[in-house]
Amino acid sequence: MCKVDDLIEEYGLTAPGSDYDSIDDYLAQRWTGSDGRSPEGYKKLTDWFNKRVLKAIYEKHGRSTVSIHLDREYNVIINEDNIQRTELAADLEGDGMDIDELKKTLVSHGTIRSHFKNCLEVEKDTQASTKSSSNSREKAIASAKRMASSKTQDILPDLTETGVVPHADEAIIDVEIRLKCPECDTRVPIEDAIQRGYICKEHMADSQITDSPDNPTTDSSDNAESDGGTTPEHQDKSKLNCNTSSKSLFAICLLSQALAIIGEQAPNLIDTITYTA
């Protein structure tokens, strides 16, 4: 038995709901995603387990276990640099608990990891995890496009009414997010960048990438653009001149710049949502 098992036995921790046989069953299914939900990483499961332990200790000492208070105090207990720690320590002492001893009682990410490996002997389906991450990326990109489309839709009636763009409110909005290389003028739709594994092969590709049907050496006109030409379609749309007296044109200009920023920040967005512990 490890520390996790000892705490489960000491505080009589039980499964959260009838869908799981035990705490260990819950941890295993939530980590692997075998219960039909997206799998969770070590950090989230460590925090979840520690809060169950903290709740049991609080109940033993007659302290409130309301979730919002428990979550806040848990964060203070595990973070020794929290400015509220001294105040909470005094409050806990009044209920017969020592804040430092509480922290020692709780488990670390490493302890949970060892519990999965040595005690539960479960393995995560990497294919399922990859599929879940892919779905999350697609949802995030679709959400960004819907937001941009909605903001554009709000502008079109004014363009029609003022005569700036006749029948603009009848137009179909087509939003595309493109990622631009910071070293050159190559631009590529975010979906294509994800599929082939790079934005610009010359400046932003992994050195291990080799030529293949899935990773062509030359960008086609459908997948990338170069701003080296003088035609309007090759101009950098993120550098529009917003010095205009027309409110409608000014709004469109700001929207265009916003879309360009979304494109530039998309890699960070994807890194965030695909992070697993």
Q: Which amino acid is at 202?
A: E
Residue at which a domain ends, from 124, 153, 179: 124
| Domain boundary pick from 60, 92, 124 | 124
Q: Are residues 41 and 60 part of one domain? A: yes
Residue range 232-247: mean pLDDT, rounded? 43
Total of domains in the chain: 2
Same domain, 139 and 236: yes
Among 124, 158, 182, identify where a domain stops: 124
Instruction: State mean pLDDT over 228-244.
Output: 42
| 43-57, 108-122, 194-208: segment of lowest average pLDDT | 194-208
Minimal CA–CA distance to 134: which of 277, 270, 36, 41?
Answer: 270
| End-to-end Cα, the chain, rounded Å | 24
Point out the least confidently predicted range of 58-62, 63-67, 177-181, 258-262. 258-262
Q: What percent of the chain has pLDDT over 90?
A: 40
- 135 with 241, same domain: the answer is yes
Same domain membership, residue 20 and residue 9: yes
Residues 34 and 164 in one domain: no
Is the same domain home to 18 and 67?
yes
Same domain, 251 and 142: yes
pLDDT at 237: 38
Evaluate if residue 271 carries a pLDDT over 50: no
Question: What mean pLDDT value characterizes the chain?
Answer: 77
185 and 132 in one domain?
yes
Two tokens at 248?
Answer: 């409608």
Are 119 and 105 in a shared domain?
yes
Residue 208 pLDDT grade (very low, low, confident, very high; cuts 50, 70, 90): very low
Q: Whole domain around residue 269: which residue ranges?
A: 127-273
Q: Are residues 253 and 146 located together in one domain of the fold?
A: yes
Per-residue pLDDT of 138-172, as tens digits, reads 888 888 888 898 889 889 999 999 999 999 888 99
Whether residue 115 sits in one domain with residue 50: yes
Show the tokens assigned to 200: 């610009």
Query: Do 59 and 9 lie in a common domain?
Result: yes
| Dihedral sign computed on CA atoms, order 11, 17, 20, 25 | negative
